[in-house]
Structure 1
Amino acid sequence: MSADYTPLPLSSLVESLLFVADGPVGLDQLASALEVKTKLIEEALKELEARYESRGLKIQRSGDRIQLTTAPAAASSIERFLGLEAVAHLSRPALETLAIIAYKQPVSRPQIESLRGVNCDGVIKSLLSKGLIEEVGRVDAPGRPIIFSTTPDFLQHFGLSSVSELPPLETALPESNGNNHSDLLKT
């Protein structure tokens, strides 16, 4: 070790671990690897989030799992650089189903179908294949229906760091034909 060695700040160490991780990492895992308390990891993450506000990277959160991702504003440049096709647009039924899952998660297929009033098998299969939703368990009820939640890919697709950044339901669902959509997702 050279005499001019200076240890990196905690935020830089957290950034390094997130960079080499192959997916979302738990707060506890970061704290354990760096031998610090999770509160210090949270502070380091806030520092990184502030640093990335006008940069090409972003801290993405899904519960207590964290991932370093590219900024949504860079998506088209990245797709062009990697030679990828633009992300497929979602149909209106897919968006409606995805909205129900995003706001009500975890939610079962019968609950989704009850809210939409139509069969959602095809739409759910499509959202699963796109990686925007995932199966997270089963309801302890007759038939044990599967329950769904959104994925980190959903957050990235819509440029969110966490589901808490979803717009309030009143602004997310427009009023139309006298229908009160704000009642749609109430429990």
Structure 2
Amino acid sequence: MKDSDILGKIEAMVFISDEPLQVDEIIALVEELSEGTISLNEKETLNFIQKLKDKFNDESYSFELVQSGEGFCFMTKQNYSDVVNALLKNRSKKRLSRSALETLSIIAYRQPITKGEIEKIRGVGCDYAMKKLLGKELIKMKGKSEAIGRPMLYGTTDKFLEYFGIASLKDLPSPKEFKEEDLEDASTDTKEVVN
């Protein structure tokens, strides 16, 4: 099998996959398709992925190959965000409510965390938001707390990373960055009032 054939197969796999495709899955599928005549290692597979990334970095494509969580997927390029936003605006049912976003951000930054701890931080119940987030598979149960009653602990999933287009939780903005943005927004608001 030629390199171009392997590239084409990897491209098709990533394209058709409904979730980010991991390197070990790609290796297994290529080897299965070649009926054992090809043996790829992780380094070779990552080289093929890099070639695909380079190919789709060309401005003639509206999408690119990116790492999301531990896998790879195609995503629309930033300069086509207006097209994506227009489409998603028509699918507002799939958007998260403010309460779901607040609950999700608490879970993302404090995980693993219990529902009681989330409610204590938010100051209100979060049953509905938790149900929505579990239904969308953005969070999952990650075990039980050692606290009295052994409440469930919750954390984010790989689907969470995919939903927000980040590779890992390390890519989340730090609370310090939020404070700096709030200060910038406040100073902008003050300037507008003064002018």
Would you say same fold, with TM above 0.5?
yes
Q: Report how many residues are paired.
A: 168
Between the aligned partners of 2:16 and 2:23, the Cα distance in structure 1 is 15
Aligned pair partner of 1:147 in 138, 144, 154: 154
Stretches of structure 1 that go unaligned for 5 or more consecutive residues are 177-187
Stretches of structure 2 that go unaligned for 5 or more consecutive residues are 31-38, 184-195
SS state of the match for residue 69, structure 1? strand
RMSD between aligned residues: 3.6
List per-residue Cα deviations over 1:34-91 (Å, max 9, x = no partner).
33112333343344445545542342412x2333333465455357569943453631
Matching residue's letter, 1:14: I
Fraction of identical pairs, as percent: 23
CA contact (8 A) 2:144 2:151 kept: yes
Cα deviation for residue 22 of structure 1 reads: 3.4
Between the aligned partners of 1:39 and 1:132, the Cα distance in structure 2 is 31
Matching residue's letter, 1:160: I
List per-residue Cα deviations over 1:85-111 (Å, max 9, x = no partner).
3453631x3332221222234433233
1:1-187 alignment, distance < 5 Å: 7-8=3-4, 11-34=7-30, 35-53=39-57, 55-62=62-69, 64-71=70-77, 74=80, 77-78=83-84, 84-86=90-92, 88=95, 90-91=97-98, 93-129=99-135, 131=136, 133-139=138-144, 141=146, 142-152=149-159, 154-173=160-179
TM-score, normalised via structure 1 length: 0.65
TM-score, normalised via structure 2 length: 0.63
Matching residue's letter, 1:88: R
* Greater C-alpha radius of gyration: 2
More helix by share: 2
